[in-house]
A = this chain, B = another copy of it.
Amino acid sequence: MSAVIDAIRTRRARRAFSAASVPPDVERALWEAVRLAPSHGNAQPTRILVARSPETRAALIDALSPGNRNWAPAAPLLCAVAALPSVDYTAENFDGTSRELWAFHAGLATGNLLVQATAMGLVAHPMASFDEPTARRAFGAPEELRILAIVAIGYPGDPASLPDDLRAKEEAPQWRLPLDIIVAEDRWRDENAIGARAWRQQHAQA
C-alpha cells in the first residue's frame, strides 16, 4: 500500500540521467504496466513506440522542442506513447452525441507506466512539447496514430551534469494545488475553477 503512494509521491520529471542502460526485463515491466491498463470495453487503444536504433532515436529527437533537446537525448530509453482512435470505442450521451476516449485511455496507461518506473528506481519524464508529424515519421507510423507523449526513461543522474537553468528546475520543490481546490464535494464552487498559475500568483504574497 505505502509502496504505491511512495512511488506516486517521489515521482519527479527529472532531467539528469546516469549513463546506465535500462535492462530488458526492467523495460519489459514498463510495457507490461501499460498493457494491463484498463480501457472502456477493453478496447486497448494504447501503443508504445520504442526508439531503439541510433537512426530512430535521432529521428525522434528531431521531433522534440529545442528545450527538450537540451536534456532528453541523455536518456538511454526514448519512447512515444500513442493511441489508435480507430480501434477505440466512443462514449455516448443520452442525446446521441459522442465523446472520444483515446486520449484519456492513453493517459491511464501512462499513469501506470510512470508509477511502475518510479517504483523500479527509474526516472520517466513525459514530454508534450514535440512535433507530432515528425514523431510519427520517426517510426513510419500512419496519420491515424495519435502521439500523446514522448517519454525519456533511465536511471537518475547527477544534477551537476545539467546546465544551470535546468539544474535549478531539477532542484525546485514540487508544488500542487491544495485538495480543497481539486476536490468538489456535492457542489462545484467557483474556487474549483482556478488555474494553477493564477492560484500560485494569489498565494505568492501570503
A residues adjacent to B (C-beta < 8 A): 1, 3-5, 7-9, 11, 13, 28-29, 31-38, 40, 42-44, 46-53, 55-56, 84, 86-87, 89, 91-95, 99-101, 103-112, 114-116, 119-121, 126, 128-134, 139-142, 144-145, 148-149, 175-177, 179, 182-188, 192-198
Q: Which of B87, B183, B194 contacts A196 (CB 8 A)?
A: B87
A188 and B5 contact, Cβ closer than 8 Å, known pairs A111-B115, A114-B108: no
Q: What copy number does this chain have within its complex?
A: 2
Please tell me if the beta carbons of B48 and A4 are within 8 angstroms of each other in the complex.
Answer: no
Please tell me if the beta carbons of A182 and B92 are within 8 angstroms of each other in the complex.
Answer: no
Q: Which of B34, B116, B128 contacts A40 (CB 8 A)?
A: B128
Q: How far is the CA of A145 from the CA of B190 in the complex (A)?
A: 12
Q: How far is the CA of A189 from the CA of B40 in the complex (A)?
A: 24
